[in-house]
Amino acid sequence: MDTTPESYLDLFPLEAIVYLTPDSENVLEDIEPDKVYVLGGLVDESIHKELTLRRAREQSLRTARLPIREYMVKAPNSRNYHSETLAINQVFDVLSTYYETRSWPAALRAGVSSGKGYVLPDTAEQ
């Protein structure tokens, strides 16, 4: 991993950047080696709906979201709480596992905690 104070907008062509945000209408289907994935996130305890999506649109960037709805189901829980918003480390875990396994179920199992209210269908009854 490399770190730099420079903006990703200055380092990569706009057409190579995919801004990941849970509010995107586009589903991330695969990781493409010629793309740069920006994990849209906030260091904040509260959820700001569509803030990262607005930021990506202001920068004219392509957006995508993790395929949580496509591979997971809402688990019954006493609080009726379900959230597709993950911490940056959870998104990184999902992406890393997907890159290694090429399996979205395995990747989502690795990164989406049960506290988010989503589970894989094979664990929904447990």
Active site residues: 44
Distance CA 76, CA 118 (A): 9
Distance CA 23, CA 96 (A): 21
Place of tokens 């209210």: 117
> At a CB cut-off of 8 Å and minimum separation 6, what does 31 contact?
37, 95, 98, 99
Distance CA 105, CA 55 (A): 29
